[in-house]
Structure 1
Amino acid sequence: MYDWLIVGAGFAGSVLAERLASERNERVLLIDRRNHVGGNAFDRYDENGLLIHQYGPHIFHTNAKGIFDHLSKFTEWRPYEHRVLAAVDGTLVPIPINLDTVNTLYNLDLTSEQLQEWFAERAEPVEEIRTSEDVVVAAVGRELYEKFFRGYTRKQWGLDPSELDKSVTARVPTRTNRDDRYFGDEFQFMPKHGYTRMFESMLNHPNIHVMTQTEYDDIRDTIPHRRLIFTGPIDEYFDFRFGKLPYRSLRFKHVTLDQPQFQPVAVVNYPQTEEYTRITEYKHLTGQEHAKTALTYEFPSAEGDPYYPIPKAENQELFKKYERLALATPNVWFVGRLATYRYYNMDQIVGQALATFRRINESIPVRGDGRVVKVASSPAALAS
């Protein structure tokens, strides 16, 4: 008998497994349908000995010291500040748009103050900012929107920015200085030995049993467990009762080149040309020294594993139906991006998992030996 069955060995499931095992001395069975732990953050060494991210680049950044300190129990860190270039009008320029981006594209020599005025002259007034298009044109005008955002967004989501919630482009700031870092967070690091090593360290506990290549439906009725934490798609848990929640997927093409470096930064975006959205070169992220280099080309897709919940109002309405079911389901906690149908950065998922653990601790008492006193009758918790 396990105290907990946790479905999904990504950040949400693994963080909770470690907390339940180490802090409450409870027995945890952690399963995943893939053949590895780490979820989409899984990294591996390829046939040439290059460390690559199997599911595209994952860059850790956070402003939450508590989250950084928690993960520091399981990994050393390599300082890394992420920089991205965009191939626009035949040249590579910084994204997010900054002072150098505009000066380079338009052959200008603006100051930061002048750039503010330049943006203001081109910005289009929007009565109510509702869509991703509204966010950009209200800030920098239609020309930069067309160059940087419209084509990239249509490739990424299969929808025009005018059809998507404002949250999509609101995540990318516009700067008037020369700061070319993609993120502005206080803590910007990469796990020194990779994400997979970090997950393995996190799950190295005698109370945790890990089973990969395992489907929840195959064991749900055969392996006894008191409670369930589900980090997979919430609609799948309820057998798609109200229909499938829409997701955007990705296809990856991994390439090794017989040269030490391919591009000047880790990621180059292609908003105007190519079928792929971006190319990642991992040695920038990992700091690895090697005679060869590894790249990943990213192709958004309507089919495949669910990666990104599609931020549209009607999709949120459908999710709300599943959320009501979840809240009425006893002894099940729904945690993570797929279970709560929201896009989260890695640190946000860690924070969500830690907050869920605190709620579990408050609602379910344990005896000194870690065994549960009684089965809670309260409804499921949907992490937020």
Structure 2
Amino acid sequence: MAASMDAGSPAVSTTTALVVAALAVLLLGAPTASAARAFFVFGDSLVDNGNNNYLMTTARADAPPYGIDYPTHLPTGRFSNGLNIPDIISEYLGSEPALPYLSPNLRGENLLVGANFASAGVGILNDTGVQFVNIIRIAQQLQNFQAYQQKLAAYVGEDAARQRVSQALVLITLGGNDFVNNYYLVPFSARSQQFEIHDYVPYIISEYKKILARLYELGARRVVVTGTGMIGCVPAELAMHSLDGSCAPDLTRAADLFNPQLEQMLTELNSELGHDDVFLAANTNRASFDFMFNPQQYGFVTAKIACCGQGPYNGIGLCTPASNVCANRDVYAYWDAFHPTERANRIIVGNFMHGSTDHISPMNLSTVLAMDNRN
């Protein structure tokens, strides 16, 4: 019979130490167990939260009064007076905003939160935004997503990294710049000479489908794809094209062509993948329409004049320290010539979370998150 061991023996002490060490590893070395769902963001200035701050480009929001209502009251690279759409979605997920991919702080436990790959000025097409020179085009954003996954795998292991990505929520916002900063940027642009608008839209939709298919190949399984807002009605376009406050007809037509074709493409892509809810179509145009024609219903005094800017509708040039700045950002739908205020962003995200299929289809985000939590 083996001799019994008393509590003070070296063997018991060693065993106790090993148990304590194992518990420490479980508690400290398994970060995926307690971390909120990861969140990844791709796209343009509507969702960029600071990547362009690290680039030599004119497409930046790194000076006051940007960030005037952000918690730090400092500019962060977000094209907003405060929080942008990804920030507000992160609140619903119960997590901190994902850091910009180019941030040196995107390492260690911060990798678990996700990453924001977006870059102001980009579009679906590689030639969109060439005037901004050094921006992260969408193909490079996807390559950065691959590199991120390698960093995550080095931190938590390949299986855990793969699971983290597959269970993540993804947001992608592209398309507006392909019209505003490409096709209609100048009269007789190269793209407008190459395509009539009714041919250009199916072309960029087909290119977008390739981008989304690649995103799926890289592991994304829950992807919110936003359409364009009412790009013909933003303060910049009103300032350039409107004498009476009516929306610019060419850009309005472009959005009216693009959004239904985008939704149809997402339905087809889901069908090809054999899952009807990988890609969710978020109708930001519907929210923009509501703001534009019923601003008082949402507590806005105007949806035509930007809070920050100069010239007609405050839509000329950039938002700078020399610009006019409204005293109460909560009663303006637009912060600058192109981008919504934080309060407008909150209404848009609220539609994503709780809206009907008029706002997001085939189901809203609250339904998706509840369904995924059950599985």
Do they fold alike, i.e. is TM over 0.5? no
TM-score, structure 2 normalization: 0.23
Q: Which has the higher contact order (CA 8 A, sep 6+)?
A: 1
TM-score, structure 1 normalization: 0.23
> Which has a greater percent of strand?
1
Which protein has the larger Cα radius of gyration, Structure 1 or Structure 2?
Answer: 2
